[in-house]
Chains A and B, each alone.
Chain A
Amino acid sequence: MADVTMRIWRGDSSGGDFENYTLAQNEGEVVLDVIHRIQATEAPDLACRWNCKAGKCGSCAAEVNGKPRLMCMTRMEDLPEGPVTVTPMKTFPIIRDLVTDVSFNYAMAEKVPALLPPPMPEGGYRMFQEDVERGQEFRKCIECFMCQDVCHVIRDHEDNKQHYAGPRFFIRYAELEMHPLDQNDRRELVREEMGLGYCNITKCCTEVCPEHIHITDNAIIPLKERVVDANYDPVAWLGRKIRRRTKRTPAEAAVQPAP
């Protein structure tokens, strides 16, 4: 097979530039294989994150020819001819080379009020497949953070990270809101502090999701509807008052210790 040229961004928070590496291409290789061969030969200090190399852990997200991709699931043969450009995810601060500081996402995870289920009956809870399926779709998330990377609310506006959780956490909130057992109410929190209103449903997140989660249609839009209902709909308000299972208030939810 013909040689391939990899144009890889090298540097750290103080700056950097592209370096070219030209090497033979092998049949069936993915971008991460080529990066690994560069590490093993020319550049053992080339930094990249990876774990499973099977599309299951989400560690090796980077931008391949400008698009967020899992390097382990991007076959070289599927890329257009010519040099392949690999850069770190743009939305997060650089640590080194292809590795970024994704701690923003872990900080957002700490703010999520945990599931609050009723006490478990003998022999476990009863839940039905059709009720758990909605949440299961969101729990396919492998936390590659490519949806966060591509979301222009934070990609283009660093300041928004203060008050915007991003698509990864909107699916988390949606999952908890739709969880058959949950008794917490996070709707006010999502509106007031997680910035759900900033999302103007351009679906960039859905397009890059390697797990093909319908982030916008199945999570963000229903979550927006629920939040709006909670605020403005008197029928929904009355409904909540007389519901069999009462949800916790946002203030209680925010400080709710796990069971």
Chain B
Amino acid sequence: MTTSPYEHHDYDVLIIGAGGAGLRAAIEAKQRGLTVGIVTKSLLGKAHTVMAEGGMAAAMGNVSEEDNWMVHFRDTMRGGKFLNNYRMAELHAKESPERVWELEQWGALFDRTKDGKILQRDFGGHRYARLAHVGDRTGLELIRTLQQKVVSMGTDVFMECKVLKLVHDSDGRVAGCVAYWRPTGEIVTFSAKAVIIATGGVGKSWKFTSNSWEGTGDGHAMALWAGAKLIDMECIQFHPTGMVWPLSVRGLLVTEGVRGDGGVLRNSEGQRFMFNYVADMFRAETAESEEEGDRWYDDHAAGRRPPELLPRDEVARAINTEVKAGRGTPHGGVYLDIATRRSAEFIRRRLPSMYHQFMELAGVDITRESMEIGPTCHYIMGGVQVDADSAATSVPGLFAAGEAAGGLHGANRLGGNSLSDLVVFGRRAGMGAADYVESGQGARSFEMGEVEGAVREALAPFERTSGENPYDIQRDLQEMMQANVGIIRTGSELEEAKVKLEEFVERVKNIAVKGGRAYNPGWNLATDLPSMLTVSRCTALAASLRKESRGGHTREDFPKADPEFAKFNFALSSDGGNWDSPVSAAQSALLAMPDDLKALLEEAK
């Protein structure tokens, strides 16, 4: 069917990305008897999923018997400031327990309750102790379990292979992709009847980020170029607790589990300032005094939860405000203190990798001293617009799941809802793609013209004898996005960002790279920059249009939430389908929620 001049592979289902969502999708499609290929930019088992620490949210009710999917649904919607796709939130809350138990059949070893069930921990925004976990390395457990399962099924994995662009068939269905091998720089093409985007996030476009080099928004961008829509791209989660010192590790994540296990936030005056930042929406269920909050840790019936465990957007904004008011630490953060509140033995057992991380990288013993922390770019709620049940995008043959998909988390994600998202919607994407393939609708040709265009663009930096170093462009982009499209935004800065992003597009067209194609990080970065710019443009545009503050989008010039803006998502599309094509936005109405689910939210108010 295809005569590619390059190394070529053909699959029923091709999955781009080998984090939790991609691997879970692969298992599902493989179990349906289809041929499955996974393409990943890194080695298998290194995806950003390993960075997840605290746990995966699932209303199993092992610790709090009162917990059930309805409470989890309500918590997710409230945390997302009601911008969520309700159907995704419903499926997620209903299906995540099954997905956790399934991992145990594949070898995962979660921490246990005294009676041998999976232990669950408290986390911000979750009404009950809900996060299944393994100490503070739950993401590693998830990815290793899925990786071992995928390998045991004999799935083909293409490691260190970077996808440049999706390819269509002559009828406009997605038909595969064009990529290159990082070790050799050689081009490789993949044809497939269905393609699943599971490429994770976009955080590498910010200066202070918890994301690895891979978080360049490749999947977001290539889906947009291929004709799909992106929603909620203005909603970026700045995790409240990233390391702030030493500078070289600024942004590195400090798990929310520290607060779940008793850690509190203090300013330079020693005050537990979070009591001053409780929004009306959360007042009824938040402790009024330190004593009440402290009682809650021992017995959830004896008090209400402390304000340190409010959703992440609330906590991140509060920290930002304290630092701006001059009550920050010497390195521009606030203090996270667990040393004075829990025994050294407890801390080392519950938070081993945090203990290790601070000891080795900052020389700080968290069993004796406070940590200095501040917000860090962590996660994008926005992503490819999908059908909740099938993970299908608006482009036939294209599916998306995990951080690359939008909708589940609305304007703000609750901690612990990401790992469960990966397995719930990874599985659904695998099912959706398999149904599509089995129904015989899959692509029938492979447009080589699209391949050649992408290859030409990717190799152009080698042709230029003079031009810019891609690392300079990346650094400038990160600084600009941090300054203009950061945690607190304002109209004039966003307009400036939009103008500057157009200048960055021109700069990227003038990149020159040194050396050959084999394992050349400079060139690899040059091929990541088009995606970074595409997603940055989407974020800046949507942020300028959303003239209100909601979740992971805070406008200094519009500090309040506006109910009119709660009725729709901004859906972005590409006018032209190339990386440098303009991006436009339209309002996309939220799905209407059935009355029985509405009632769940009403009861909670």
Contact = CB atoms under 8 A, between A and B. Distances in A.
Interface in A48-72: 48-59
Interface string B3-44: 000000000000000000000000000000000000000111
A95 B112 contact: no
Given A46-B521, A51-B46, A97-B519, A28 B118 contact: no
B245 A120 contact: no
Interface in B536-569: none
Given A44-B469, A51-B212, A54-B253, A29 B43 contact: no
Interface in A130-150: 132, 135-136, 139-143
A51 B247 contact: no
A54 B149 contact: no
Contact of A45 (B44, B48, B248, B520): B520
A251 B19 CA distance: 32
Interface residues of A, number: 64
A46 B513 CA distance: 12
Given A54-B253, A140-B137, 12 more contacts: A44-B514, A44-B521, A44-B522, A47-B520, A53-B249, A56-B51, A56-B139, A57-B50, A59-B46, A95-B183, A112-B152, A135-B109
Given A45-B516, A56-B140, A258 B111 contact: no
Interface residues of B, number: 71
A51 B214 CA distance: 7
B104 A124 contact: yes
A259 B521 contact: no
Nearest to A122: B101
A28 B521 contact: no
Contacts of A179: 107, 109
B213 A51 contact: yes
Interface stretch (B81-89, B337-345, B357-365, B591-599): B357-365
Ranked 4 nearest A-B pairs via Cβ: A28-B246, A44-B522, A45-B515, A126-B116
B413 interface: no
A114 B152 contact: yes
B357 A54 contact: yes
A96 interface: yes
A136 B43 contact: no
B246 A45 contact: no
Contact of B46 (A12, A26, A57, A109): A57
Contacts of B47: 51
Interface string A99-136: 10110001001101111010010011111110010011
Nearest to B152: A114
B43 A49 contact: yes
Contacts of A46: 521
Contacts of B48: 51-52
Contact of B112 (A50, A73, A115, A128): A128
A39 interface: yes
B116 A127 contact: yes
A188 interface: no
A97 B515 CA distance: 13
A168 to B, nearest CB: 12
Contacts of B475: 40
A135 B153 CA distance: 22
Interface string B222-258: 0000000000000000000000011111001100000
B117 interface: yes
Nearest to A74: B360
Interface in B126-183: 134-135, 137, 139-141, 144, 148-149, 151-154, 159, 183
Given A50-B213, A115-B107, A124 B42 contact: no
Nearest to A124: B101
Given A44-B469, A136-B134, A53 B252 contact: yes
